[in-house]
Each structure stands twice: as structure tokens, then as C-alpha cells.
Amino acid sequence: MGAACRPAYQMRRLFPEHFQSGPFDWTVTPFHSLKTVFSGGFAPERVLLPQYIKFLPAHKVVCDYSGLQFAHALAKEKLRPFRKGLLAHNPNPSAELLNSEIYLNAIGRFRHTYTKFDGLCQENRRMVFIRWIGSGLYTKPDQKGPGKSMVESIIEDDNIFMLESLLSDKYPELDFRIYYIQSIYKEQVESGKKLVLSISHSSERLSTLVILEENPENYNGDDKAWQAAALEIRKQMDF
């Protein structure tokens, strides 16, 4: 469940037998996006319609309806053929972009993964949701100053209890647990050998794990720290 792509990469690697790709895996997902998606009346077919496409600085694409930033499906590298004169000076998507394979694939992937996610949640099964909330510092390789990092800026209104309520209201029969994973980096604290610094349980459905990561060299994160978190989740969930 976001807030960025790191948990999708790590959970797919660490839980290959259980991982299910979802609509938030490769997007930047502010908490208000989760509120929109899990509220009554959400229409997945409206996501990324032309009237909702918004271009941010550095050629980032956000869907104004859902609030999701499509950091992979519509990454700036993929937009390069459409960039000149289209994104920087024109707030509206061009016909070339709307007819392009990358745009049609982005829409198709979101609709497919949302339909799959919604179907799984309506089945009689146990689901584990992971949301990474970073630490506010050093959450991307080029973040070295005191300003807000990408993850810090998108989790300001995160509310773990509200997320539980949203899921309970939308899927009243679903057996689920939410793990919030917070990263602390070794440059920020006196580091020891312990990779999972703390585990707290707010309720039977809510847990927070604080992990100690090496200062990341890329967006994937510290494999050893995430592996330690995965072991704790396996123990608690008995799988």
C-alpha cells in the first residue's frame, strides 16, 4: 500500500509464494489516495482519464482523481518521446501521449490490479497489507539536506487507525492485518547489530515495525533489514 515502491519490491522478493501485485505497488501513494480508493463511490475507470492527468515538475504524472503518482508506468524516462513542447508548456495531455502504448498500459495495469485486489478482498481469505512510511530522512539516494524527503511529504496525514476503518468498512468479512514499516537509517542513530528496532501492536489488526537500514544506494532499500522484518511478519502471521 505504498507509500512508495520499496515495499512492493521487497515483499515480492521475500514472499514469492504469497505476494499479490496490487494497484499501489509501483505508485507514489499519499494517504488521501487510500481514502479515495477505499471510499464508497470510487470508480477505477476514472483513474488516469485525460481530464484528471496533471503534470508536476520534473515531468511527474499524477492522477488528480485518485491522487496517485505513476512513478513507474509513466516514469519520466518513458515520457521522453512526448516531452518536448508537450509537458513543460502544455498542462493538457497531448494526443500523442493519450494514444501511446505507455499510457494505455498504465491505465490497463491499474484497472487490472484494482479489479484483482478488490476480488481478493471479497474472498474468504487472510490478507496482509504493508505500508512503508520511511523515516523522513534519507529515504532516497539524493536526499541529503534537512528538507522533506519524498516519503515524508506524502505521509503527513497518515492515520493507521483510519486505514483499518476504511478497510473494515469496505470489506467487512475480510480477515486482514496491516503492517506499517518505518525505516531508520544508520547515519541517524547509533547502530548495533539489531535490524528490527521495535515492534508495536496498536490492535489485533495493526502493527508497526521500525527497521534499521543502511543509507540506501537506490530505491530498493536494505535487503537485510527488510528480510529481518519479513521474518517477524512470518512469525506473527504463522506462514
* Terminal C-alpha separation, the chain: 20
Structural domain for 45, as ranges: 6-237
Q: What is the pLDDT of residues 48-83, one digit of tens each?
A: 999 999 887 766 889 999 999 998 899 888 887 776
Number of domains in the chain: 1
Q: What is the pLDDT of residues 199-234, one digit of tens each?
A: 888 889 999 999 988 876 778 888 999 999 999 999
Whether 1 is covered by a domain: the verdict is: no
Whether 12 is covered by a domain: the verdict is: yes
Cβ atoms within 10 Å of 7's Cβ, excluding its own: 23
Helix (H) or strand (E) holding 207: strand 206-213
Name which residue leads in pLDDT, 8 or 57. Answer: 8
Mean pLDDT rounded to a whole number for the chain: 84
160 has pLDDT over 80 = yes
Q: How far apart, in whole angstroms, are the C-alpha atoms of residue 143 and residue 150?
A: 9
Cell numbers of 223, please?
535487503
Determine the average pLDDT of the residues in 190-196.
73
Residues 6 or more apart whose CB falls under 8 angstroms from that of 160 comprise 178, 180, 202, 206, 208
